[in-house]
Structures are given as structure tokens and as C-alpha cells.
Structure 1
Amino acid sequence: MNCLWRGFARCTLAVLLFAVMTTAPVWAAGSADVVSFEVLTVNDFHGALPENGKNPGAAKLAQYLKETKAVNPAGTIIVSAGDMFQGTPDSNLLYGKTVVDVMNQIGFDAMTVGNHEFDWGVDILKKRINQSAFPYVAANIIDKKTGKPADFVKPYILLSRQGVKIAVIGLATPETAYKASPKYVAAYTFADPVQTVNQLLPELQRQGAEIILVVSHLASYMDRQTGEISGDAAVLARETRGLTAVISGHSHQTVYGKVNGVPVVQAYYNGRAVGKVEILYDKAAHKVVNTSVETVALPYPGLAADPAVARIVQKAQAEIGPVKNVVLGKTLTPLDHSREEPVVSPLGQWATDVLRTRAKADVAFQNGGGLRTGLPAGEITMGMIYEVMPFDNTIYTADMTGKQIKQVLEYGIMNTRVGMLQFSGVNVVYDPGRPAGDRVVSVTLPDGSPLGMNQVYRVATNDFMAAGGDGYIMFKEGKNLADTFLPVRDALVDAIKAARVIQFHSDGRLKILAAGLASAA
């Protein structure tokens, strides 16, 4: 250990930490009563099956999980914190089937339900559950009719490993109620995670659970300087007693640390990391004697691809190749997109213009989260459009007043909770320094005339927003709300084919006042 440049104090601390880390396993192995467990976690894989750019792909992810489990097969538990299926044409064109094939081959022990597991409806989700060789757990998905947990998942499972009873509680994020398509989750409520766990703990203790894990799709965040962990997963760890670890997802972050002495972990997204929680349990004393938590970035040099999983992915790619690889046209400039940036993105401008034109509407809206990635300059394939628009949303139209349109703009512009609203047909000046609900300074039509507050306009959007998804309840107040039954994705494909070449030019339809931006910050 080279410590010359660090200074004596830091070196001393490093040596002590090194000693603790290297002696703990020796102590554990020397005691017949102490057994070790390793919980390996994956979250927000989003169908990233092939190796691509920074994504290691399913085969390398599988190799790491299998290699790690081989070190302690009796004590390793592999879990998913949800959002595994939707996100790429490789998964979407087969509705997540290939991802489940991969997870079965790896040997997952449990999975919770992310909000995107509902993207294709509960019937498709049930097909994936029936296909799976592992249980799905989510204690807080409540059937409105019965008032009981949904029948397609288990609230928790009990595992017996190395003579120790381990409970695995599942939790969906309550945000599913508005982040999933309302038509697919209208029959369910998503109960408070803390209340749900606190109600279950006595039952689990009566059943003899000695280690209690929560596998959740609750968000978490970690301050890179202080190490402080925040988010719903941190709240759960802080406001409950008796949990051994909380596995997190949803927010696509790298998180590892402890809250209230409880390990909290999230492993980035797309398989780019694996979370690891190590637990030492003393069977004689009936207690956890030590825990540690980390994430491992993937891929790393020398990590091979698991042959069995590679064959599964290759077979699926051969099946979807004739659809995925069709070239539709090209774009001369990148059509970038970000849900977080306070702009109408190049992709957002182009896509909402397509919606407005196709629906013969005056104004069009698209939720920022409904566009999942941008398009690079060059050829555009069908597979790329599936990545941009993985959802099977259809175009809706409605008659709305100028006042209602302004309410949509007030709600959606710079909304960090649900993502930046994308729109077409109006030019907006926005001042974030003004009070909420009064930040839209002006709205004008393309000809320069002001939007009439009492005038009625034809508006186009998607079925998700029309049903109140992401909190856009304003569309339900419009008149003549109707489904065109035309998929948004098909409208984008048709537009590319018709144009052949996209030549993007920003029209500056959104102006955010710099002074207001500074005061809002």
C-alpha cells in the first residue's frame, strides 16, 4: 500500500480499514455458527440485452452474477428491483419474454414490480410472471375491489438458506399510480411503503424470519461528497425497525451506504452495475453481526460473456432482426432529447410537430418521459424508433380552451418530477422566478397572435396524458376527448418515410427568462 502522498493520518485510517475488511471473512469462516450471505441486486435493466456502448449486455451481466454466486452458492440471493423489460426493441418486440428467459437462466430468486412492468398492461405482465421461474413480490399493490394485495404478486416470500429463514418483502413505488398508464393501473392503489412494511414486520417475526430484505422500486440518491442517502428508500430505512437491507431502483442512480444502520443499495441502470450486500449472521446468537454494501461497475476488463445467455440473446435478435433493422430514412443533424433539461428538445420539437400535423390539431403535447432517447445523425431504423418510443401510446384529440392549454404549460414546463413537457403550435415565454401557476408570461400562436383564453382549440396528445398520466388532469376537462387509435410510433415512422430526410431547425418556441431562472435557482 503506497501511502506517501496521502499523509500519515489518512494512511493510518486506510490500514485500519484494510485490516477490518480482510479479517472479517477470516473470523466468519472460523466460527461454525456464523454464516455469510451475499445479496446481488439488479435494477432498471430496461431490456438492455445486447452489449452496446456502456451497456455490458445480458451475457456479461449473467457471467458476473454466476461467477459471484459460485463463490458462495448456498448463501447467494439474486434479486431484481424492477423495470427489467421495457426499453429496447430487443425486448419490446417480444414484450419482455427474452429478458425473463435470461433471468431464468441466471437463476434469480425474486423480483419486484417497477412502474414500467405495467407498460403493456396487466395481462402481459401476468404472462411474464407465469413464464418466470422466480416469484414477483410487491406488498403494497392493492386491488381496489378486494382491498387486498393484488393476486398476481406475493407480498413477500420466505427463503431458507444455510439454516436461516430469510424474508424478502417486495414494494412498488407509489409513483406507479401516475407514472404508469392510468388505464393499466386504475384497478389498483399503491400503498405507503413505510406503513406496509411496518404492518408486515410482526407477521414475519412470528414466522421466524431472521433476516428481512426489502426489494423495492423506491428511488434513492446519494450525495457524492457526503455519502448521505435520500429518497423514498432512505425514508423506509429510517422509519422502520428490523430491516436487514433495502434494495432500491427507479431513479437510475449508483447508491451504496447505510441509513439508520441499514444498507441501502441501487445499481445504476441497464446492467451497468450490480449491487452487493454482504451479511454475516450468527445462528447461535440469532442476530446479524455485520453488513457491508457496495456496487460493482460492469463491464470490466476480462469479463467474459456467458455462453448460454449469449445464445438466448442471439436467438431473439435473429427473430426480430427483419423488423428492427429496416431503414426508414435519415436525419442530417442529431435529434437530441433530455427529460431534465428545461428546453423543448430537437426530438421533442420534431415529434410534437408530427403529432400536431397528423391529428390536424392546433396544439400538440408530449410528456417528456414518453420520449426515451434521442436520435443520432444518420440513418434511422425501426429499432431506433422503438428505443425513442417504446410505449404503445395512441394519439388522442380534444377540444380545449386557451385557459386549459395554459394550465398544461404551467404544469409541465420545468416539471422536474415528471420530466420536461414537449409541445408544438404555441410560442411560450416562461419566468421560473414567478409564483407557481403564474410563470407563463405569454403564449402566442405561430402567426404571432395571442392565445385566446376563452377560445377553443383542437389539441393532440397521447393516451397516457389524456388519461391523466404524470398528473396531466387538464385533458379530462376538455371536450370531445377521443382516441384516434393511431399509435404515436406509427405516426413518427410515417413522417420519416414521407420526408426521407429530416432537416431540423430550432424555432425557439420556448423562451425561459434568464433573470427568473437565476432567482429560481
Structure 2
Amino acid sequence: MHTNDLHSHAEPFMDRGRMVGGFSRLGHLIKTIRGNTPNTVVVDAGDMFQGTPLFTHYHGDVEVSLLNKIGYDMYTIGNHEFDDGAENLGLQLKKAKFDVLCSNIDTKSQPELDSVVKPYKIKEIAGKKVAFVGVMTPELERLSLSLGGVKIKNLDKDWIEPVREVVAKLKAEGITRIVAITHCGVDFDQQLAAGVPDLDVIVGGHSHTRLDKPIYVSHPDGSETIIVQTGSYGRTLGRLDVAIKDNGELDTAQTKYRLINITDKIVEDPEIKAYVEKKIEPLLSLRQTIVSQAEGDFDNRWAMMPWDSALGDLVTDALCQAGKEYGATICLHNRGGMRGRIEKGPITLEKVQEILPFDNRMSFATITGKALLSALEHSVSGPAGGRFLDVHGLKLGYDPTMKRGSRLVFAMAENKDGKYSPVDPLKDYKVAINNYTFHDGEGYDFKDAKKIVDSADRVAIPFRKYLENHPVVKPQTPSRIVPITDGVLSANRKDEVLAKVKNTVPGSKVQLLAGTDRGATSYGNGI
């Protein structure tokens, strides 16, 4: 059984009109299945920290205690485990009764952490030895700014090589059944499977991908690697019943997999429920403080939304408002810096902290149009995800079918009169950006920025103030970022007066742009 990206969601929560998740129900289900099923192993694929006020208040102690109480066997570290610093992570994981696995990070700079991390664990199951190997995303050093010297091994050459070496060592010891527990995301998991064919199963995390069916990666010798992942926040529990042939090989045809939805139909474990309720008590005032009302749902589906999100529009509107005194007219906010969604109804202070849980501040600065265009190009250079920027004061279109570095089709900045004109590479723009993104997070580069002012307030504070000043907020139809393929905007055929623009959001406005080169030279009214 497996979970991933629990992100401190210890309590059941409302998700699109349904009550889901909760460690008390998850714990009851795991204990019940384990009691009825011999040879069961329970693992988590990282990012148990960060995402609700529980982590902000207890710094990870609650999450580790809950995994202990449920009876997890193994876990691999996620990038958000470093959010409160590597030293804190070491102190919290010292309390773990489960094995902490990661084969491709160098933790020598952090003695406490180094003392608990193992590259692998060998476990005897049904009379056969099975090895479990932990793996971290090769993007760790780009994603976390508080590693305290922890780094990815061999990153400058081949990030897979340290894993390959561990697997070769295990094979030399006669262990032929090997499972990787990874916090890499499905794309890197597929790279890993192709690069290390001896992995039978990859239990993944990081990309928050709900895989209702496994991904199978085939190898030249006819074998396959199975990749599974549950999504996020404890909405589901993954169950993989692995079948082994008489010759010891993995029988993928007979191996069964399913996701079990954690709903209010599942009984709650009374001990875990009581523990969570006790830990929540000091935080109840956050839940009881209402700061605004939502007229509809503000969604933020990460990788499933290659356009601006309603939540991202709201957050960037709020943070740009906070930057008005510094002259900011544009706001950029990485999507990974926003968590969860706002459901229709009261917006509480607890929800504000869930939406913006990180210890990020705002940076206000003057940047060139060239730097702004570079940032927007970087935002759309991969699939929509944590790096993707939601924006205020901009409208942009991009072609996701083009090669990286050449996807931005047009970018228009709002003028003082409310109209838009193309971003000028030679012009200066005043922007509001969270300091994680501003200081190299996710690979962004603003090193040439001028007139920098760093706010002392966490980003949740100006967001709260904005909501308090707007008693009712209404989700906007996405119109700031548009993925464009097979349309005149990406082809710019000078003799074409009518073109179909596919893959846009239903209900989007059409914006008229003129120009014979890639991009646009003028902006017309929407129709």
C-alpha cells in the first residue's frame, strides 16, 4: 500500500463538494487491510510536510507521529520536507519508527539527517528478499532554497547513476526483486525506469498525479517496470498486489492495482482521530475567523491547467495590490507556491494559510522587458506545474508544441489606460514577485533587477488584507494566459483573416492581434 504528497492534510477536507481524506480514515483502512492481508508493506513517497497550519505550527512533528501511529514501513524524502530547513528535517525524522530511504542525495553536511537516511532497505516478504530503494527528484536544488548543503549526487553528469550503482550492488548480492520509492514525478520516473531496467516497481510522488492505472515501461528483454502514484493530500490509498512467477520474475499480467478513495464511508480510527483533534485545538481560531466570501470555486489544478487559474488570478491581484505603493503594475507567482483551492462559501483565515502556506515574502523590483519575457518563456517551457506562473497585469499566449525556449507567442503588458501593448525588451517594468521565485527558485533569473524592496510580511498577510477589503470575491474566467496551437497566432500568415484557435478555455474571449512576425505588434479589443 502506498501514499504520496500528503502535505500535512491530517483532517478530512471538502473537495469539490465531497468530504475526503483524513489520517484517521487512512489509518483505519491501512490497519484493516494489513490485518487481513499477509506480506503487506506500507510506504510513502514523500512530501508529508507543508500545506496546512499544522506544519506551520508543529514543524513536522505531527506528520511523523501520524505515520508512526498508522504503521508505515518506509518512506522517501520529498523536496518540501526541507521547507523548515535541513536541520529541522533531521530532528523530526529522528523520531521516525519507519525507514527513511534516499539513495541519490548527499546528506553529509547535516549530521542528524545523515544518521537516519539509508539508500535502501531489504525486507523478507513471503520467504523472498525484496529491496526498497529511495530516490529524490534531480530538481531538488532548483526547488528548495533551504537545503543546508544537502545535494543531489552526480547531478552534473547523470542523476540516475547513483541509483544504478545501488541496484547493481543489490543484484550482486542476489536480490532480484527491487522496488523504488521515488519523489521524482511521473516524467522522471519513466526516465528512471528506462535507465534502470532492473526496477520492478516504482512507487512515485511529487507530480501529484493520480494514476488510476499503472504506467508500464517496457524493456528490450521483454520485462516491464510498473509505475504507480496516488495523487495528493491523502485523497486515495494505492494498493498494488504484486504477483511473482515460479521462476521469480514479476508477473505484470497477474499483478493487480487500484486506488481506494478515502471518503466519509470509511470508519475513523479513534486513536488517530483523538490525536489529530488535540493537535488542532490551538489552531481553531484560524478556522473560526472569516475574512471574505467566495461566490464560486477558485480552482488551481496545477498540471491540469495550462492557462491561468481562478485562484492564481485572485492571488496575483492581491499581491500586486500590495505592491502598488512601490509602483508595481505586474505580479508573477509560481503555481507551486499556491496550494489547494477555495470552495464557494466562507473564506477563513485557516484557508488563507492553506492557500499560501510557505514562509515566502514579497519582493518588489524593477526589471527589464527582456528579463520579463525570459521569465515568461521559462514559465511555459515545460508542462503546467509548480514552475508555471500565474500573472496580473499581463496577457500572454504560448504554443506548447514548439521547442523549449521558443514557445512564447506574445506577451502584452497593461498600460495606465487599461489597454495592453507588447512587452518591450528595452523598457523597465515594476513587478511584484514572491522572494522564492525572485531568488532563483524553480530556475528563474532576476539577478539584473534594480530598486529591490523585500517585504518583511509573509505572502499570506497581504492576501488576507486584500480579502478583508473585498467582502465578496468572484472567480474570473481564465483570460490572461492562453495555450495556442494550430491558429493564426502561432503561424501569423499575413494573408489570413480568419483562423481557428484550438485548445482554448471554453468561454474565453478572442483577442485581436496584428503583426507579421511571431508575436504581435498591436492589441485590439476582445470580441
Shift of 1:213: 1.8
Q: Which runs of 5+ in 1 are unaligned?
A: 1-39, 221-230
Letter paired with 2:210: Q
Partners of 2:159 and 2:384 in 1: CA distance: 19
Distance 1:499 1:297, change over 3 A: same
> Which residue of the partner structure matches residue 299 of structure 1?
262
> Which residue of the partner structure matches residue 31 of structure 2?
66
Tell whether 2:374 aligns with 1:374. Answer: no
Residues 403-418 of structure 1 correspond to what in structure 2 (within 5 A)? 403-413=370-380, 415-418=382-385
Contact map agreement 2:360 2:458 (CA 8 A) in 1: yes
Contact map agreement 2:120 2:132 (CA 8 A) in 1: yes
> Which residue of the partner structure matches residue 427 of structure 2?
455
Shift of 1:308: 1.7
Partners of 1:144 and 1:63 in 2: CA distance: 37
Comparing 193-202 and 130-139, the one that deviates more: 193-202
Partners of 1:239 and 1:271 in 2: CA distance: 30
Letter paired with 1:390: P
Tell whether 2:14 aligns with 1:55. Answer: no
> Which residue of the partner structure matches residue 253 of structure 1?
210
Shift of 1:459: 1.9
Partners of 2:481 and 2:262 in 1: CA distance: 40
Partners of 1:183 and 1:240 in 2: CA distance: 30
Shift of 1:501: 3.8
Letter paired with 1:278: D
Partners of 2:264 and 2:437 in 1: CA distance: 44
Distance 1:463 1:210, change over 3 A: same
> Which residue of the partner structure matches residue 30 of structure 1?
none
Distance 1:303 1:375, change over 3 A: closer
Name the SS for the 1:182 alignment partner. Answer: coil
> Which residue of the partner structure matches residue 193 of structure 2?
237
Shift of 1:363: 2.1
Partners of 1:130 and 1:497 in 2: CA distance: 41
Residue of 303, 306, 316 corresponding to 1:352: 316
Name the SS for the 1:158 alignment partner. Answer: strand
Residues 294-443 of structure 1 correspond to what in structure 2 (within 5 A)? 294-299=257-262, 303-339=266-302, 340-359=304-323, 360=326, 361-413=328-380, 415-418=382-385, 420-428=388-396, 436=406, 439-440=409-410, 442-443=412-413
Name the SS for the 1:275 alignment partner. Answer: strand
> Which residue of the partner structure matches residue 80 of structure 1?
44
> Which residue of the partner structure matches residue 415 of structure 2?
445
Distance 1:202 1:343, change over 3 A: closer
Partners of 2:29 and 2:64 in 1: CA distance: 18
Distance 1:289 1:349, change over 3 A: closer
> Which residue of the partner structure matches residue 170 of structure 2?
204
Distance 1:293 1:349, change over 3 A: same
Shift of 1:183: 4.1
Shift of 1:171: 0.3
Name the SS for the 1:477 alignment partner. Answer: coil
> Which residue of the partner structure matches residue 106 of structure 1?
70
Overall identity of the aligned pairs, in %? 26
Contact map agreement 1:365 1:421 (CA 8 A) in 2: yes
Say what the alpha-carbon RMSD is for the aligned residues: 3.3
Residue of 433, 448, 457 corresponding to 1:477: 448
Q: When the two structures are superposed, what TM-score results if normalisation uses the length of structure 2?
A: 0.78
Partners of 1:182 and 1:499 in 2: CA distance: 33
Contact map agreement 1:427 1:446 (CA 8 A) in 2: no
> Which residue of the partner structure matches residue 214 of structure 1?
180
Contact map agreement 2:76 2:182 (CA 8 A) in 1: yes
Name the SS for the 2:365 alignment partner. Answer: strand
Distance 1:437 1:481, change over 3 A: farther
Shift of 1:145: 7.2
> Which residue of the partner structure matches residue 46 of structure 1?
7
Shift of 1:374: 3.1
Name the SS for the 1:174 alignment partner. Answer: coil
Distance 1:425 1:495, change over 3 A: same
Contact map agreement 1:159 1:165 (CA 8 A) in 2: yes
Contact map agreement 1:400 1:458 (CA 8 A) in 2: yes
Residue of 237, 257, 262 corresponding to 1:274: 237
> Which residue of the partner structure matches residue 220 of structure 2?
none
The superposition leaves residues 332-377 of structure 1 with CA deviations (integer Å, 9 ceiling, x where unpaired) of 4544434343443333233222222323223221112222233233
Partners of 1:490 and 1:317 in 2: CA distance: 21
Q: Where is the helix percentage greater, Structure 1 or Structure 2?
A: 1
Q: May I ask how many residue pairs the two structures share in their alignment?
A: 465
Name the SS for the 1:330 alignment partner. Answer: strand
Distance 1:409 1:257, change over 3 A: closer
Distance 1:55 1:438, change over 3 A: closer
> Which residue of the partner structure matches residue 514 of structure 2?
none
Partners of 1:89 and 1:287 in 2: CA distance: 47
> Which residue of the partner structure matches residue 511 of structure 2?
none
Letter paired with 2:427: Q
Contact map agreement 2:398 2:407 (CA 8 A) in 1: no
> Which residue of the partner structure matches residue 89 of structure 1?
53
> Which residue of the partner structure matches residue 35 of structure 1?
none
Partners of 1:62 and 1:342 in 2: CA distance: 35
Distance 1:241 1:90, change over 3 A: same
Name the SS for the 2:442 alignment partner. Answer: helix
Tell whether 2:81 aligns with 1:117. Answer: yes
Tell whether 2:160 aligns with 1:194. Answer: yes
Distance 1:289 1:387, change over 3 A: closer
Contact map agreement 1:56 1:299 (CA 8 A) in 2: yes
Distance 1:144 1:410, change over 3 A: farther
> Which residue of the partner structure matches residue 117 of structure 2?
153
Partners of 2:249 and 2:380 in 1: CA distance: 48
Contact map agreement 1:257 1:264 (CA 8 A) in 2: yes
Name the SS for the 2:268 alignment partner. Answer: coil
Partners of 1:267 and 1:434 in 2: CA distance: 30
Contact map agreement 1:267 1:295 (CA 8 A) in 2: no
Contact map agreement 1:79 1:108 (CA 8 A) in 2: yes
Tell whether 2:94 aligns with 1:130. Answer: yes
Shift of 1:120: 2.6
> Which residue of the partner structure matches residue 507 of structure 2?
none
Q: When the two structures are superposed, what TM-score results if normalisation uses the length of structure 1?
A: 0.78
Partners of 1:409 and 1:272 in 2: CA distance: 33
Shift of 1:129: 0.8
Partners of 1:64 and 1:515 in 2: CA distance: 53
Letter paired with 1:248: G
Shift of 1:112: 0.5
